Amino acid sequence: MLASKLRDQISHLTTAPFNMLVPRSRCPACGHQISALENIPLVSFAVQRGRCSNCKTRISLKYPVVEALTGLATAFSAWHFGFGLSMLGASVFIWCTIALAFIDQETGFLPDQITLPLLWFGILLNTGSTFVPLHQSVIGAAAGYLSLWSVYWLYKLIRGKEGMGYGDFKMNAAVGALLGWKILPVVILISSVVGLFFGLIQMIAARGRWDVNFRIHFGPYIAIAGVLAMFWGSEISRYLGLPF
């Protein structure tokens, strides 16, 4: 009887829906389901003094950091673009890239549930030339994917191992879909510089050895580069003397 109940529980866990909407958020320590009042950005963290209301386990600082970044970036989008489709597109892009950056840094994965809808969102948004004309958006999506796909295969042929994941291709394609193909050189340049910066930090932290737990994946680099390019891509292109 006990074995049968255990099998039923395992079967339920493996077949129950698990995506961006369900199940509800829970405390990773005790499994307590987070209520609506416990899920108010920043406020709930402060009221609960950074601890779970049920088991009192300390809540990671990454949650208020993500909430604060998202709020500040959204407010800046409204100030930079004004209220309209550009502000909406910028906000959605920022929400998704912040989520992708933190997910990739923690797990090493860039979920299709975010990257692919963001790609299509960018193309649909540009049917009205919100950021770029539609043809530049479509070419940007293809060029964004193929540019990192080519780097992936070149690295694999030379070194015999993978240097990045397919999620990076899709995320870069989403950036190209929203901002167009002309901005991709800026995105790739910035992401490479940011990657070099964090790579140096990693090497210093490891004292010359790379076998250290600290590691940052390419998704956060693309996120930082994409947001910078969205706000100041034209200025950066002119400063670098790029022809487009």
pLDDT of 205 higher than 60: yes
C-alpha to C-alpha distance for 74 and 95, rounded to whole angstroms: 8
Any residues with CB less than 8 A from the CB of 49 and at least 6 apart, and which? none
What pLDDT is recorded for position 13?
47
pLDDT of 79 higher than 70: yes
Closest alpha carbon to 133 in 179, 196, 188, 69: 179
Helix (H, G, I), strand (E, B) or coil at 133: coil
Compute CA 242 distance to the chain's CA centroid, rounded to the nearest angstrom.
27
pLDDT tens readout for residues 32-76: 677 777 677 777 777 777 777 777 778 778 888 888 999 999 999
pLDDT of 177 higher than 90: yes
Buried b (16+ CB within 10 A) or exposed e, 189-216: bbbeebbeebeeeeeeeeeeeeeeeeeb
What pLDDT is recorded for position 186?
92
What is the average pLDDT across 87-110? Answer: 92
C-alpha to C-alpha distance for 75 and 6, rounded to whole angstroms: 49
What pLDDT is recorded for position 39?
73
pLDDT of 213 higher than 70: no
What pLDDT is recorded for position 11?
53
219 CB neighbour count, 10 Å cutoff = 27
C-alpha to C-alpha distance for 172 and 91, rounded to whole angstroms: 17
